[in-house]
Amino acid sequence: MNKISKLFEYGYLVIAVVFIVETVNNWKTDRPRAYMLLIFSVLAIFMYFFKKRFRSKVEKRNKK
């Protein structure tokens, strides 16, 4: 279970990088889409840190 949650954590980072690249590609041609992708990338980065903190709390609780 622990390895799967770590995999999902890094999956959020991969998704954020893809969205950032797409934001840069769409910046001049489709500005509203670029803003939407930027918001999704920030959300994915937030989810990475949220999941990481939640997993560490669960691991700490299970060790006691």
pLDDT in tens, 11-39: 999 999 999 999 999 999 999 999 999 99
Percent of the chain with pLDDT over 70: 98
Cα(55)–Cα(17) distance, integer angstroms: 22
Q: Residue 64: its pLDDT value, please?
A: 72
28 three-class SS = coil
- Checking if the pLDDT of 3 tops 90, the result is no
Rg (CA), the chain: 15
- Checking if the pLDDT of 50 tops 70, the result is yes
Give the angle subtended at the CA of 15 by the CAs of 14 and 20, to the nearest 5°: 100
Domain boundaries, the chain: 3-53
DSSP classification of residue 16: H
Q: Residue 1: its pLDDT value, please?
A: 65
CB 12 within 8 A of CB 51: yes
